[in-house]
Structure 1
Amino acid sequence: MIDVDMAMKLISRNFPQVEISTARPITRGWDSFVLEVNGELIFRFPMRDDVIPYLEKELGLLPVLEPTLSTPIPHFDYIGHGDASYPFMFVGYRKLGGTTLEDESLTQEQLATLAPALATFLGELHSFPAALAVQARVEAHTPEAWREMYRDRYIDLRKRVFPLLEDVELRAKSERLWEDFLNNEAIFTFQPVLIHCDLACEHVLCDPERSVLTGVIDWGDATIGDPAMDFVGLHNCRGREFTERVLARYQGTIDAAFWQRMDFYLCYGPFSELLYGAYSENEKIIAKGIEGLRAMFRE
């Protein structure tokens, strides 16, 4: 398992021109260990080999996407290689400044003035040519393929997660939620576009004083799919009113079934947590996911 000392040694070995004065771990998520160096560089280290394809996707996509966006995104100036103790590649980029959109100090007035900037960013992203994205190793989904992807997840849930739900009513509600979504052909009518697909508020950086976005990070899940997915994180963090403010300025297509799909995606979090808990055999994550389901169905 990689730690600060190992990460510093890898950086120094790969990039001797980087003189490390300070090194501060930012996060150890499910996929990556992230280190801030000298307060100005960010280095990301994959924690498993199955994370590498997502990083390779970013390496292919971001250089061609960057010139088309008015919002900064990571520019990988450093591409390093591991050794016997850490066998993976890793990347580094100049830190993007700003406050995360989840920052509790942001006022409602500031959020209101940031909504147009988010709408502009999403409009630019969703208008990026899909063919160029495919050339950059991004997977493309038709609406039917998107539906099939969720059908496969439902099969996985029935196999790995639903047997863990001892509460019969909780399991029945979960099955009904998924089957109502998957069996409704009319809602799979969207025009596929390039999406970030993990646009949580912690991945959006802003300057509330100037009402601008200063960065969008963590592009490993980028894909061609349902544009509604890129509004889910905003809704989870800042609520429906804020999301509607962004949508009011959004120049992309909002189809008739947009909110039906959004309502389903907003329920997906506990299921994702439960799947991760089941695969990792982590009882704490499973328990948290089950409580998340209970809370969701109580609302």
Structure 2
Amino acid sequence: MKRHKYSAYVTSIEEQCKDLNVDSVQKLGKGWMSMVLKINEEWAFRFAKNKRASADLDKEARILPVLSTFVSAAIPQFKYYGKQKDGLVFAGYRLLPGEILKEDSIFSFSPENRKVFIIGLSQFIKELRAFPVEQAKAHGVPQLDLHCFYFGLWKEVRKHVFPLMEDGLQKYISSRFHDYLHHPVYTEYTSLIHGDLSMDHILIDPETHRITGIIDFGDLAICDPDFEYRYILEDCGKLFLESLLNFMGDQNSEDRITKISYFVTFDHLQYILEGIRRKNSSWIQEGMEEIQREMNKNGWQIP
């Protein structure tokens, strides 16, 4: 066991989880917010890397036990919960059944397996929407005003990102914000959403392609239900999202996909801003390239 890499994390576990002897450690994932380790081939431990991630884990600890009675798929149930030496929290749960998807996994599915997956995904989204909003609020789930959030993002983009952009990209981005912020139906929020429903947070049975589990509920929020679909559009494409919306019985799928595409644009801009804050030139370049590809794909012409 390579304890030297993860000794601080292992120490936190051994000091606070007295009934768990750490025999093996593997990295499951690492991002801006958390480090995730597999312990003894049986447990997943998430360690917050900043205050926001710590607050998100605390929110999950409160809401997930209640939410588990509303959803069919397995979701994390924290058995272990503690604090690291820096005061940030960590939590451990038994690994969920199934295999985690990759961002592009859906493109290898057969039509039949894609349909099975869509049925399971739509069921999970509907189950979340059915969760009482007031109960979610009582367990610490925030209500997100997307109009206010994106208005603030728009100001940040003009200040920090526009100086790095050519005139054509600036005009494209300006048009995206204008169209979203001035469309009245785009300001509604009505239900509980996962908030980070990308393919790599979904587990399936590799034989049947049925969804077996969903992970990473740190971005749970109450807001516009269409905000749930932004990573699905980005990871799986427009045709898949159309099929999902149609299966769920949602109306005006074309208009809604247009709205969801704005969320994808804004995510790229947040990625660029994060690159600027961290002085990471590769993130800035990657975000710029994504927006350029998007603009070209949309056939947008500079007025």
Q: Under a length normalisation based on structure 2, what TM-score does the superposition of the two structures give?
A: 0.89
Distance apart, 1:137 and its partner CA: 0.6
Question: Hey, what does 1:132 align to over in structure 2?
Answer: 135
Question: Hey, what does 1:171 align to over in structure 2?
Answer: 170
Question: Hey, what does 2:100 align to over in structure 1?
Answer: 100
Q: Counterpart of 1:67 in 2: which secondary structure?
A: coil
Q: Under a length normalisation based on structure 1, what TM-score does the superposition of the two structures give?
A: 0.90
Q: Structure 2 matches for 1:25-104, cutoff 5 A? A: 25-83=27-85, 86-102=86-102, 104=105
Q: Assess if the C-alpha contact under 8 Å between 2:128 and 2:192 holds in 1.
A: yes
CA pair 223-3 structure 1, distance change in 2 beyond 3 A: farther
Between the aligned partners of 1:274 and 1:247, the Cα distance in structure 2 is 30
In angstroms, what is the RMSD of aligned CA positions?
2.0
1:13 corresponds to 2:11: no
Q: Assess if the C-alpha contact under 8 Å between 2:81 and 2:91 holds in 1.
A: yes
Residue identity matched to 1:75 = Q
1:152 corresponds to 2:152: yes
* Structure 1: gaps (5+ residues): none
1:229 corresponds to 2:231: no
CA pair 140-49 structure 1, distance change in 2 beyond 3 A: closer
CA pair 278-179 structure 1, distance change in 2 beyond 3 A: same
Residue identity matched to 1:160 = H
Q: Once the two structures are superposed, what CA deviation does each residue of 1:32-64 show, in whole Å capped at 9, x if it has no partner?
A: 011001111000001112322111111121111
Q: Assess if the C-alpha contact under 8 Å between 1:111 and 1:208 holds in 2.
A: no
Distance apart, 1:208 and its partner CA: 4.1
Distance apart, 1:107 and its partner CA: 3.6
CA pair 248-186 structure 1, distance change in 2 beyond 3 A: closer
Identical columns (%): 28
Between the aligned partners of 2:84 and 2:199, the Cα distance in structure 1 is 31
Q: Counterpart of 2:35 in 1: which secondary structure?
A: strand
Between the aligned partners of 2:245 and 2:81, the Cα distance in structure 1 is 37
CA pair 56-290 structure 1, distance change in 2 beyond 3 A: same
Question: Hey, what does 1:112 align to over in structure 2?
Answer: 115
Distance apart, 1:296 and its partner CA: 1.4
Between the aligned partners of 1:218 and 1:179, the Cα distance in structure 2 is 32
Q: Which moved more, 1:263-272 or 1:216-225?
A: 263-272
Between the aligned partners of 2:66 and 2:72, the Cα distance in structure 1 is 13
Q: Assess if the C-alpha contact under 8 Å between 1:273 and 1:285 holds in 2.
A: yes
Distance apart, 1:100 and its partner CA: 2.5
Q: Assess if the C-alpha contact under 8 Å between 2:193 and 2:221 holds in 1.
A: yes
Distance apart, 1:254 and its partner CA: 4.3
Question: Hey, what does 2:195 align to over in structure 1?
Answer: 197
Q: Assess if the C-alpha contact under 8 Å between 2:117 and 2:210 holds in 1.
A: yes
Residue identity matched to 2:204 = C
Question: Hey, what does 2:260 align to over in structure 1?
Answer: 262
Runs of 4 or more off by more than 4 Å in structure 1?
253-257
Distance apart, 1:17 and its partner CA: 1.6
1:183 corresponds to 2:182: yes
* Structure 2: gaps (5+ residues): 298-303
Residue identity matched to 1:6 = A
Q: Assess if the C-alpha contact under 8 Å between 2:71 and 2:127 holds in 1.
A: yes
Question: Hey, what does 1:289 align to over in structure 2?
Answer: 287
CA pair 174-205 structure 1, distance change in 2 beyond 3 A: same
Q: Name the count of aligned residue pairs.
A: 290
Decide which of 239, 246, 249 is 2:247's aligned counterpart. 249
Decide which of 212, 217, 222 is 2:215's aligned counterpart. 217
Question: Hey, what does 2:161 align to over in structure 1?
Answer: 161
